[in-house]
Amino acid sequence: MTGVSSGGLEGHVRERLARKRLLLMTHAVVGYPSLDASWAMLEAMDAAGVDLVELQLPFSEPIADGPAFVRANQGAIQAGTSWSAYFDLMARAAKRFRFPVLFMGYYNSIFQLGAERFCARLGEAGARGFIVADLPPEEARALSAVARAKDLDPILLMTPTNSPSRLAEIGRQASGFVYCVARKGVTGKRTDLAQGVEALVARCRGATALPLAVGFGIKTPADVRELRGLADIAIVGTACLEAWEQRGPSGYGEFLKELAAETT
């Protein structure tokens, strides 16, 4: 139940939680709609006081993502976003902003680069860990071992369909914090937090002592407010992308501030 402690990321989360009731983690698909736009999003996140950020490496088949992120991944790829551009932006962000940055992506990309090189590049770019949406814990051990040797935290996912024994195994392997997937399906669709999320979080807390982040369908300031006292981190992804597309850069910044206001 204790998880694997590597100090850094978990320590940051707990230090922030000593000052706030809930942390906020946001998301950007690097290169969509452009690298300059991605940087502007990060600046707005920093200005709003976001606590953690996941930077998604564009991938052609993002199977855990809903339509908005699928379109964003495709747009970033069509714009020519490369591995080098991704890591360059991550390195700039790690040096410039107060929040830790995390890799988010799919295992095919890591497999192509190789575990050693992937972790080395993440470490060089200043990342604190990574989220691989399609890598089951049984297959993650080798990558996790390489990562921890380089002070990177593999962020593992717990889902509503996990059995108690599987949750326990994920809890044994986890470090940094745990990503609790609030419902079945892909990202984007709003989650009714009254439908089973409290029970899911309780099950996850029984499997790990690490901080718990809740994502998938957290879309509004009211959703974030509902997670206070339940989760440790609220994850908002698709709604941020929609705010950028529908409200423009200034509206995006205001939306982030509205979300952050519900975490104190």
Q: Compute the distance between CA of residue 101 and CA of residue 193 in angstroms, rounded to an integer.
A: 27
Return the residue matching tokens 């996912």. Answer: 157
| Predicted pLDDT at 216 | 87
Q: Where are the domains of the chain?
A: 8-153+222-257
Return the residue matching tokens 């080098």. Answer: 84
Query: Strand (E) positions, 3-59?
Result: 23-29, 52-56
Query: Strand (E) positions, 40-181?
Result: 52-56, 101-105, 129-132, 153-155, 157-158, 178-181
Query: Is pLDDT above 70 for 222?
Result: yes
Query: Is pLDDT above 90 for 39?
Result: yes
Query: Looking at 54-68, 95-109, 213-227, 240-254, which range is the least confident one?
Result: 54-68
Angle made by CA atoms 256, 104, 96, in degrees to the nearest 5: 55
| Predicted pLDDT at 241 | 96
Question: Residues 10, 51, 54, 262: which is the catalytic one?
Answer: 54
Q: What are the Cα distances from residue 132, in Å, to 106, 109, 255?
A: 5, 10, 27
| Predicted pLDDT at 263 | 96
Query: Among residues 58, 85, 83, 80, which one has the least CA distance to residue 69?
Result: 58
Domain 8-153+222-257: top CATH class: alpha beta
For 15, phi then psi, to 5°, come to -65, -40
Query: Is pLDDT above 70 for 33?
Result: yes
For every residue of 127-162, DSSP letters joined together read --EEEETT--HHHHHHHHHHHHHTT-EEE-EE-TT-
Angle made by CA atoms 155, 157, 163, in degrees to the nearest 5: 140
Average pLDDT over residues 128-141: 92
Question: Residues 15, 36, 61, 65: which is the catalytic one?
Answer: 65
8 A C-beta contact, residue 124 and residue 103: no
Give, for 107, the enclosing helix (H) or strand (E).
helix 107-113
| pLDDT tens-place string over residues 148-194 | 999 999 999 999 999 999 999 999 999 999 999 985 444 444 445 55
Concerning whether 65 is annotated as a catalytic residue, the answer is yes
| Predicted pLDDT at 60 | 87
Query: Looking at 178-187, 209-218, 234-243, which range is the least confident one?
Result: 178-187
174: Cβ contacts below 8 Å, ≥ 6 apart: 3, 4, 154, 155, 156, 208, 210
Query: Is pLDDT above 60 for 248?
Result: yes
Q: How confident is the model at residue 4 (pLDDT cuts 50, 70, 90)?
A: very low
Q: What are the Cα distances from residue 241, in Å, to 28, 236, 252?
A: 7, 9, 8
| pLDDT tens-place string over residues 64-91 | 777 888 999 999 999 999 999 999 999 9
| Predicted pLDDT at 217 | 84
Taking only Cα atoms into account, the Rg of the chain, rounded to an integer number of angstroms, comes to 17
